[in-house]
Amino acid sequence: MRVGLLFVVLMAGWLVMSGHYNGLLISLGVISVIFCVWLSHAINATDEEGLPTHLFARLPSYLFWLFGEIIKSNFATAKFILNGRGDPEIFNVTATQNTAAGIATYANSITLTPGTVTIDINEAVAKDQFLVHALHADFGEDVRSNDMDRRVTALEVLTSPDNKDGNL
């Protein structure tokens, strides 16, 4: 099931990004995707952690929100750079995610948003702590508001019949 889903997702991504649809290129794409799926299965990367299918249902709405944040941050970053008002800061923020996929999604979302970069993840504490660099205190406040953290935590919540309350 997971292997088939991985094939469909990779093939759809390949077709969308390719933009060329002739027999040779499609057959090369199929061969490439089959090789990638076989390799993923061979290294056991198609389990729940490697292919977190429970994220798929909520992922489009999260990505829509994240793209909006990236666009807003791009304009704000350009404004700070053009005005020469950079006032960098480094701070810690706590991650409330319970899975490796959720932690990676949160750390990458911080880094994808212009003006902020996740520098380090401290896994030794009770809840993971991220060391974040922000170009300006305004960007730091956006991260410290925990809006992104709450959205990623909601994204990773499993919704199965034996998990009626939404907890992991």
* pLDDT in the model for residue 158: 57
Determine the Cα–Cα distance for residues 148 and 154; give it in Å rounded to an integer: 10
pLDDT in tens, 80-105: 888 887 789 999 999 998 888 788 88
3-state secondary structure 96-140: CCCCHHHHHHHHHHHHHCCCEEEEEEECCCCCCEEEEEECCHHHH
159 pLDDT more than 50: no
Bridge partners, 92 (sequence order): 131
Bridge partners, 129 (sequence order): 94, 122
pLDDT in tens, 146-155: 899 999 988 8
CATH fold group of domain 54-156: Alpha-Beta Plaits (3.30.70)
pLDDT in tens, 99-158: 887 888 899 999 998 889 999 998 887 678 999 999 988 888 888 998 999 999 888 875
pTM of the full structure: 0.72
Mean confidence (pLDDT) of the chain = 85
